[in-house]
Structure 1
Amino acid sequence: MSQSILEIRHLRTLAALRDTGSLVRAAQLLNLTQSALSHQIKLLEDRYGTPLFERKSVPPQFSGTGLRLLQLADAALPMVEEAERDVARLAAGGAGQLRIVVECHTCFDWLMPAMDAFRSRWPEIELDIVSGFHPDPIALLLQNRAEVAIVSEQDPAEAVDYHPLFQFEIVALLANDHALVSKTHLTARHFADQTLITYPVPDDMLDIVRQVLAPAGVQPAQRRTTELTVAMLQLVASGRGVATLPLWAVQGYLDRGYVTARRVGAKGLTGELHMACTAATSARPWLADFVQITRESCFVSLPGIALL
């Protein structure tokens, strides 16, 4: 039998295509161009003389050959990844801890699946969420009170490394019978006579203020804060004010018709999340794995996000 052309990257490509449901999303997940990903698939199809999946189906329907290669991917990839982790452990030695501080301290459900997956791969690393609100999460890294901070923007002046996670749309949330529901999108002036409900954080940590209201010189008529996302949505639904939250965080409530969402600005308001840590933490063998796990789990599970 001739030498196999199969490589680990081919198996990862097929697994990503199955998990994401499209060539475009698979390319984003693997940080490849769509043409590079298509080239990999064509190489395999030319080698085996048969399509690996039906091009016109969404999600892709794999052929018998494609399913057999996926079976190989499911068996081989976990073994390769486990071996790489074991090698990293042998090189680093010992256990460790990963304390995470989240800028939005009451909105981190999205992080839990990544933490669960990381815990199963690195059981010797003690995981913890640093509780409470911290106005300067980067300071906790520099004070050795946390290993990782999840922040909304990069500050080049800070002596830390930034690992990009994902970008997302932030939408305005209104009671279903609110007068502004008639608008296709909201601009800064629409907030001028409203009660704006936010988390109890400084304005420079709120995208709606930093990116929209402050540049336009607009101050909402009133401000109200709450620490809980569900409480914020209840206040919105009962007509006590308007709020802005990530689309992925409220999609379930929108699907149930609990509140109504409108875009902020004609092109929409976008936010970002990054993982910040010191250079010493970046050098830890488990950090790159934690970043990758977080990016992959969020990309597959959170609606409407784009990897950075």
Structure 2
Amino acid sequence: MGISLRNLKLVNVIVKEGSVTKASEKLFLSQPALSHQLKKLEEEIGLKVFNRLNKKLILTETGQVIFKTSEKLLASIDLLNSELDEIKKGKKKKIRLTTECYTCYHWLPKVVQEFRKDNPEINVQINIEATKEPLQYLIKGKIDMAIVSNTANNPSIHFEPLITDEMVVILSKENDLGDSKHLELSDLKNQNLILYDIPEEKNYVLTNILQNNISLVNSIQKVQLTEAIIELVSANLGISVMAKWAVTPFLQNKQLKIIPFEANQGQRDWFIASLNKISETESLFIEQIKRDFKQLKNIKHGNDWKYRKS
């Protein structure tokens, strides 16, 4: 018969208390009952745990192994119970999240950094691999939250409104549209639209701005890197459509200009997707996102934000 957690605790308490009498008080057992449990343990494993010398209990080699193991396991159990209690109270110690859009990594690490200043005990883990399939990772329990721009018809997933950003046209000042104050989709008909090289069903510009109607532009060119898109647009070899906050760091380039769409054509809503009710800790992090994002949208040149590969 294997050693139970109760037996590990029994040996651990006897060693720490120094006697069966004190250990029985600690464990709320009578002294005969505790002695009976210890004797039964030694019979079950076929080894002596303690040597009894002048009414003192001295650990045998077997006892030392059991005690050493009990220290590790009981500490882990205590930690587990503490974490479960924190979760029950809505105070998680770890947040695992991802975002469906690589461009969000432009501002997300900054949010984590600011959040950790006031909450150093919270471990925020960004799962970049989950970016490809955020909701699938969520359903499989590999992350706790996902930042997404579309909701899904899945009763198991809760979507909470997060932030709204603005999609704008980025172009060279030499472009024919450079003098426009606002643009409509029909204005793009003679333009080469440069987009990120990602699956079309995941490309927000194609699915939500163009509504999958590629005839609204003259041509489409796909590029992997944000920096490459910027260089092509700066050379007036095409235009692009990006979130305003994503373009901001590049506006020091005097050849570039951003022009908003008419009405709400460029408005994009973001949501926090989760399987369970948002915990107190996660709510604090969400509020940090909203505060930092508001500041980000007000930055004129984005000097304080390091742009990352998209």
TM-based fold match above 0.5: yes
**Which structure 2 segments of 5+ residues have no match?**
1-84, 300-310
RMSD value, Cα: 3.1
Equivalent residue, structure 2, for 1:165: 162
Taking every aligned residue pair, what percent have the same amino acid on both sides? 22
Equivalent residue, structure 2, for 1:155: 152
Whose radius of gyration is greater, 1 or 2? 2
Is 1:290 the equivalent of 2:285?
yes
Give the counterpart letter for 1:298 in structure 2: F
Q: CA shift at 1:115, angstroms? A: 0.6
Equivalent residue, structure 2, for 1:261: 258
CA distance in 1, matches of 2:217, 2:155: 31
Give the counterpart letter for 1:110 in structure 2: W
How does the TM-score come out when normalised to structure 2?
0.60
Equivalent residue, structure 1, for 2:95: 98
Report SS of the residue matched to 1:184.
Answer: coil
- 1:212-268 alpha-carbon deviations (Å, 9 max, x no partner): 322766353332233332332122111222111111222243355341112223555
What are the within-5 Å matches in structure 2 for residues 102-121 of structure 1?
A: 102-121=99-118
Is 1:299 the equivalent of 2:286?
no
Equivalent residue, structure 1, for 2:236: 239
When residues 97 and 113 of structure 1 are mapped into structure 2, their CA distance, relative to the original with a 3 A threshold, is same
Q: Is the 8 A contact 1:163 1:291 kept in 2?
A: no
Q: Is the 8 A contact 1:122 1:286 kept in 2?
A: no
Q: Is the 8 A contact 2:91 2:281 kept in 1?
A: no
When residues 224 and 178 of structure 1 are mapped into structure 2, their CA distance, relative to the original with a 3 A threshold, is same
Q: CA shift at 1:147, angstroms? A: 1.6
How does the TM-score come out when normalised to structure 1?
0.60
Is 1:198 the equivalent of 2:198?
no
CA distance in 1, matches of 2:298, 2:105: 15
CA distance in 2, matches of 1:113, 1:101: 14
Equivalent residue, structure 2, for 1:44: none
What are the within-5 Å matches in structure 2 for residues 178-217 of structure 1?
A: 178-214=175-211
What are the within-5 Å matches in structure 2 for residues 45-124 of structure 1?
A: 89=86, 92=89, 96-124=93-121
Is 1:227 the equivalent of 2:224?
yes
Q: CA shift at 1:172, angstroms? A: 0.5
Specify which of 126, 133, 137 is matched with residue 134 of structure 2: 137
Q: CA shift at 1:142, angstroms? A: 0.5
Q: CA shift at 1:111, angstroms? A: 1.7
